[in-house]
A = this chain, B = another copy of it.
Amino acid sequence: MLSSLRPIVAFVAVFLVSATAAFAQTDPLPSWNDGPTKQAIVDFVTRVTEPESGDYVPIKDRIATFDNDGTLWLEQPMYTQLAFALDRVKELAPEHPEWKDQQPFKAVLEGDMKTLAASGEKGIAQLVAATHAGMTPEQFQTIVGDWLATAKDKRFERGYSKLVYQPMLELLSYLRDKGFTTYIVSGGGIEFVRNLSEPVYGIPPAQVVGSSIKTQYEVVDGVPTVMRLAELNFIDDKEGKPIGITEHIGQRPIAAFGNSDGDYQMLDWTTAGKGPRLGLIVHHTDAEREYAYDSDSSVGHLDKALDAAPDKGWIVVDMKNDWKEIFPPQE
């Protein structure tokens, strides 16, 4: 009689294997450890996408906004855009012999980060003017693209576009699969971020909101040209994030993702809206695999938003415990 059970056993075995495989295939967030953080994300997405949930949100209103530095990619030991500006100063230095004696360029060329930091907003403005202006957006894109193709982070010995967070890449895809439109809302320069948004995050240039310098339309030798000027236009940080979202997207998001106090207002405004809302903070707690920092760091300073999270109902990702992987696998 036992032998007559064999086909049934085989069937059950095949069924179990298939079911496991199917489950593994359909876990949309494989780099997230199972637990309350992952569950809260999946619960929110399920609630807003299931018509019978009572919290259903139509596709046109499924707007999700992501900070970039420290939320989607590495921001330590310095913002990647600052690393770009410093490298660019070094590259342009032969054309500017006067920089040897002129701050903040002298400090950059001598690697004197303390003096550079002391140059403050004025110094940063001079760096931006020298490295980001006086060209068309297309020319700037070429310069940034060439730099990103070769520049490497010293600690991880990888290009910056490989130092993006694998769990967040999965989250972006998961949300888009569920009908969300995903936006980057970055304190960084809008044109800088646009260089990588599509190939790295699958986010087209038009879905990037960021800080910007002014541009001017000119006809140069009969050629219509947009020129980047050495003049600040908009700071997309803190109060600027809800303003930038209003201007660019024209809708309040239902989900917002950040990692620092610069994201506080975006998180607060997003989650204060009616209906189901999701606010999430990436807390850098993993000195071994990445970095551990919050209220003591000037880059990615996280204090007020972390304190407010429990009351506001924002999810706090504990990078060390919630993330199975930090970066995409090495190729």
- The chain A residues found within 8 Å of chain B, CB to CB, are 60, 137-138, 181, 190-191, 194, 198, 204-208, 212, 215-217, 219, 223-226, 233, 239-240, 242-243, 246-252, 265, 268-269, 272
Q: Return chain B residues, CB-CB under 8 Å to A250.
A: 137, 190-191, 194, 205-206, 208
Q: Return chain B residues, CB-CB under 8 Å to A251.
A: 205-206
Asked whether, in the complex, the Cβ of B248 is within 8 Å of the Cβ of A226, the reply is no
Closest to A252 in B: B138
Contact A246 to B226, CB < 8 A, known contacts A204-B60, A217-B239, A251-B206: yes
Q: Return chain B residues, CB-CB under 8 Å to A243.
A: 215-217, 226
What 10 pairs across the A-B complex have the smallest Cβ distances? A205-B250, A217-B239, A224-B269, A224-B268, A206-B249, A224-B272, A217-B242, A194-B250, A226-B246, A226-B242
Contact A215 to B265, CB < 8 A, known contacts A60-B198, A251-B205, A251-B206: no
Q: Return chain B residues, CB-CB under 8 Å to A246.
A: 137, 215, 226
Contact A215 to B137, CB < 8 A, known contacts A60-B198, A226-B269: no
Closest to A63 in B: B206
Q: How far is the CA of A248 from the CA of B249 in the complex (A)?
A: 9
Q: How far is the CA of A190 from the CA of B249 in the complex (A)?
A: 11
Copies in the complex: 2
Closest to A233 in B: B247
Q: Return chain B residues, CB-CB under 8 Å to A247.
A: 190, 212, 215, 233
Q: How far is the CA of A32 from the CA of B248 in the complex (A)?
A: 33
Q: How far is the CA of A194 from the CA of B217 in the complex (A)?
A: 25
Q: Return chain B residues, CB-CB under 8 Å to A225.
A: 269
Q: Return chain B residues, CB-CB under 8 Å to A181.
A: 206
Q: How far is the CA of A272 from the CA of B221 in the complex (A)?
A: 12
Contact A224 to B190, CB < 8 A, known contacts A60-B198, A137-B246, A215-B246: no
Taking the closest CB of chain B, its distance from the CB of A320, in whole angstroms, is: 31
Q: How far is the CA of A204 from the CA of B251 in the complex (A)?
A: 10
Closest to A194 in B: B250
Q: Return chain B residues, CB-CB under 8 Å to A239.
A: 216-217
Q: How far is the CA of A216 from the CA of B244 in the complex (A)?
A: 10
Closest to A234 in B: B247
Asked whether, in the complex, the Cβ of B137 is within 8 Å of the Cβ of A206, the reply is no
Complex A-B: 27 CB contacts under 8 Å: A137-B246, A181-B206, A194-B250, A205-B249, A205-B250, A205-B251, A206-B206, A208-B250, A212-B247, A215-B243, A215-B246, A215-B247, A216-B239, A217-B239, A217-B265, A217-B269, A224-B242, A224-B265, A224-B268, A224-B269, A224-B272, A225-B269, A226-B242, A226-B243, A226-B246, A226-B269, A233-B247
Closest to A240 in B: B217
Most buried by B among A138, A190, A217, A239: A217
Q: Return chain B residues, CB-CB under 8 Å to A198.
A: 60
